Structure 1
Amino acid sequence: MREYIYMDNAATTPVKDEVLEEMIPFFKERYGNPSSIYSIAQASKTAVEKAREQVANAIGAKKEEIYFTAGGSESDNWAIKGIAYRNKRKGNHIITSKIEHHAVLHTCEYLEKNGFEVTYLNVDEDGVVDLEELKNSIKDTTILITIMAANNEIGTIQPIEKIAEIAKSKDVLFHTDAVQAIGSMKIDVKNMDIDMLSLSGHKIYGPKGVGALYIRRGVQIDSLITGGGQERKKRAGTENVPGIVGLGKAIELAYENLEEHNNKLILLRNSLIEKIENNIDEIKLNGHRINRLPNNVNFSFKYIEGESLLLSLDMMGIAASSGSACTSGALDPSHVLMSIGLGHEIAHGSLRLSLGDFNTEEEVDYVVEELKKIVLRLRKMSPLYDKLKEEN
């Protein structure tokens, strides 16, 4: 068996050596609480503020507009609930899309149970939000539009600049879940008129359990976590200093080498797509063919169940996903694939391969060769595939 091939970087990335090296001192020598005033604590505070500046620089924000959280899900929850409850006297209507991450969808569903109204926008067959539907959905009571920058399952990139422009023209706040987009595309929150943005460390070769929420200066938002006075009294709890340091270093590295990083991944992505399409029939590429994240490949394989496909790949030393890692244990088909028009049967047979900095063309070739064998074997076990061959 060859060395394990990891192609599930959309679920999580490994921590890069440079990131870990920055983090280690804050577990041992520099372990002070940033809220204390003695020197060992102030070293931690200085490190947190350095990371805040690194995150701000990466997205075109000011450092005082960056608030550290425990990850993307907390950032999404804070942005949506915080705006909803702060503005409930102004209105109770929120607009999102049907293909958002569950951190957004479940938060909106929670708010619906507590007196808020939510509009879930349709998407086209590539997963792109309908801008006309967005315009027509805005009401006098609309207080927030929350649309992801890029989809975590099918990789489609949304027209967030146009969405932000629509929001601004109607004096509605705009939040984007950019957890998958950060480190893969350039985002300037000022030039793009983004009011709030969520990001996470473990998608960009940083540690798990740390993220950030950008809140444009002047935006009034209720706190999600109350207690102490950390994060300028907006997000209580002793800071995760090693994690924050790691996030800062990871996002700095990501944007130092963004073009080189993307060019490599696009070549690998296109090669993987082309070789799968040339070697396996009865398949469908999900998501926009061009306007997609540089590392995302998502196919549906007819007459195959996705879980069997994943287990078979794992036996051959290949890590992949059938969709979002957060819901990969669910029996229901992906809400994203259903929203782009796939039927239950083909949606169940989806495979997401998400590339990273450490993947190679040799690994692409190996994955395609093994995938071809696995698909053939699984289809031989499928009564639906047998019926198709008989009909032909």
Structure 2
Amino acid sequence: MTERVYLDWNATAPLRPEAMAAMAKAWELAGNPSSVHAEGRQARRMVEDARTAVASAVGAAPGNVTFTSGGTEANVLALAPGARRAGGRPAQRLLVSAIEHASVLMGGRFPPDLVSRIGVTADGLIDLDQLRRSLAEGAAALVSMMAANNETGAVQPIAEVAEIVHSAGSLLHVDAIQSVGKIPFDIKELDADLVSLSAHKIGGPKGIGALVAGERIEGVEPLLRGGGQERGHRAGTENVAGIAGFGAAVVAAIRTLATETARLETLRNRLEGGLRHTAGAIIFSEKAPRLPNTTLFTVPGLRAETAVIGFDLEGIAVSSGSACSSGKVQPSHVLEAMGFGPKIAQGAVRLSLGWSTSQTDIDCCLEAWRKLANALLSEERNTA
């Protein structure tokens, strides 16, 4: 194989040409966006144009977008005691689903004793009955959950969750980092109060994200204090190039959303059809609504770390269900929350597609898997 195949888009997407061009233009600017002279106004215009683009992508008002250093900061900014809806009670505790990103599972700025987890079904969807019971048991809560899971691709019933949460006088934060740009998302239609975004999942640069507030949200405490940037919600000189790249990437992603959704779903179905030829293959969350680009699979006896290395040697970039910052593969906490034991959870391999993924890429992946499967499974059985 002369060219590598990249199938790890949920980890990060390659930089879009539109984002690269916008960033190059920003790097040519000399001005600080807080300065009032012409150079500063040029930089400010670039920031505000991007803010408008990001807001439009999720159906929000531009003034409700706060740029951050990425999705993790956006989550931590959102997860703070005291947030409330206009006329409502301030959140005094945090409820999170058991399949969230680490920055949410750790509770943001809530003390650990005020953080509770909500379970999920075997398909990876939130347990709505447990959510109702938990909301009824105490003070007003901030509920945080992903719109779509980064490992399984399972899409949560956000509108239904929002109705349950708001009926209990609580608030809803949605981590939409994996969903925006892949499936339709509208903060007003879903009735979310706070939404986290990240640029590099949709082809923008790494190191830039946003927290988007709904129209009725009040009382979100700043994480960084100092200057008055971002309307006082986030101090520090704005990352103009990163913000410009984010804006360009989100415009490109939304422009092609409908056609890409259908195309990627067709490719994913082709991929999963090939994987099912392996005896015992499991495709996680296959009965749930899923992102069109995501497949998480395993075969009993497979070890993800070995499979990822095997694919890499064949020229194909994939990932395990979960990896810590050191790169060591860990059993997926998502699959364990779904009821799968460690032997299954430690063997999950994620394949995620993007705008440049082709049918040839899928066929190359399946060819590599056919070569790898027997050898990997035989090796694991012999060492078991």
TM-score tier by shorter-chain length is over 0.9
Q: 1:202 corresponds to which letter in structure 2?
A: H
Once the two structures are TM-superposed, the CA of residue 288 in structure 1 deviates from its matched residue by 3.5
Greater CA deviation, 301-310 or 205-214? Answer: 301-310
Corresponding residue for 1:71?
A: 70
- Which TM-score applies when normalising by structure 2? 0.94
Q: 1:220 to 1:325 in 2, by over 3 A?
A: same
3-state DSSP class of the match of 2:190? coil
Matches within 5 A, 1:188-207: 188-207=186-205
Corresponding residue for 1:373?
A: 371
Corresponding residue for 2:258?
A: 259
Q: 1:5 corresponds to which letter in structure 2?
A: V
Q: 2:101 corresponds to which letter in structure 1?
A: H
Q: Aligned equivalents of 1:107 and 1:135: distance in 2?
A: 20
Matches within 5 A, 1:78-117: 78-81=77-80, 83=82, 90=90, 92-107=92-107, 111-113=110-112, 116-117=113-114
Q: 1:199 to 1:82 in 2, by over 3 A?
A: farther
List per-residue Cα deviations over 1:322-365 (Å, max 9, x = no partner).
02455572453110011111111111111000001111111111
CA contact (8 A) 2:197 2:211 kept: yes
**Which residue, 127, 132, 144 being the options, matches 2:129?**
132
Matches within 5 A, 1:199-348: 199-217=197-215, 218-278=217-277, 280-324=278-322, 329-348=327-346
Once the two structures are TM-superposed, the CA of residue 4 in structure 1 deviates from its matched residue by 0.5
- Which TM-score applies when normalising by structure 1? 0.92
Is there any run of 5+ residues in structure 1 with no aligned partner, and where? Answer: 387-392
Once the two structures are TM-superposed, the CA of residue 86 in structure 1 deviates from its matched residue by 12
Give percent identity, aligned residues only: 39
Is there any run of 5+ residues in structure 2 with no aligned partner, and where? Answer: none
Aligned residues, how many? Answer: 380
List per-residue Cα deviations over 1:43-65 (Å, max 9, x = no partner).
00011011111111111111101
Corresponding residue for 2:26?
A: 26
Q: Aligned equivalents of 1:66 and 1:90: distance in 2?
A: 21
Q: Aligned equivalents of 1:166 and 1:290: distance in 2?
A: 20
Q: 1:263 corresponds to which letter in structure 2?
A: A
**Which residue, 155, 158, 161 being the options, matches 2:156?**
158
Once the two structures are TM-superposed, the CA of residue 111 in structure 1 deviates from its matched residue by 2.8
CA contact (8 A) 2:175 2:195 kept: yes
Q: Aligned equivalents of 1:384 and 1:123: distance in 2?
A: 34
Q: Aligned equivalents of 2:49 and 2:25: distance in 1?
A: 15
3-state DSSP class of the match of 2:9? coil
3-state DSSP class of the match of 2:224? coil
3-state DSSP class of the match of 2:142? strand
Once the two structures are TM-superposed, the CA of residue 290 in structure 1 deviates from its matched residue by 5.0
Q: Aligned equivalents of 1:31 and 1:323: distance in 2?
A: 43
Q: 1:118 corresponds to which letter in structure 2?
A: V
Q: Aligned equivalents of 2:81 and 2:40: distance in 1?
A: 30
Q: Aligned equivalents of 1:320 and 1:83: distance in 2?
A: 40
Is residue 311 of structure 2 the alignment partner of residue 349 of structure 1? no
Q: Aligned equivalents of 2:180 and 2:85: distance in 1?
A: 27
Root mean square deviation, CA, Å: 2.0
List per-residue Cα deviations over 1:217-260 (Å, max 9, x = no partner).
44211101111110001100110001101111111111111110
Q: 1:259 to 1:239 in 2, by over 3 A?
A: same
Once the two structures are TM-superposed, the CA of residue 167 in structure 1 deviates from its matched residue by 1.3
Q: Aligned equivalents of 2:59 and 2:323: distance in 1?
A: 30
CA contact (8 A) 2:57 2:250 kept: yes
3-state DSSP class of the match of 1:176? strand
List per-residue Cα deviations over 1:74-106 (Å, max 9, x = no partner).
00000002646999x955321111000111002
List per-residue Cα deviations over 1:255-295 (Å, max 9, x = no partner).
111110101100001110111102x1122111234510010
Q: Aligned equivalents of 1:262 and 1:219: distance in 2?
A: 34
Q: 1:328 to 1:183 in 2, by over 3 A?
A: farther
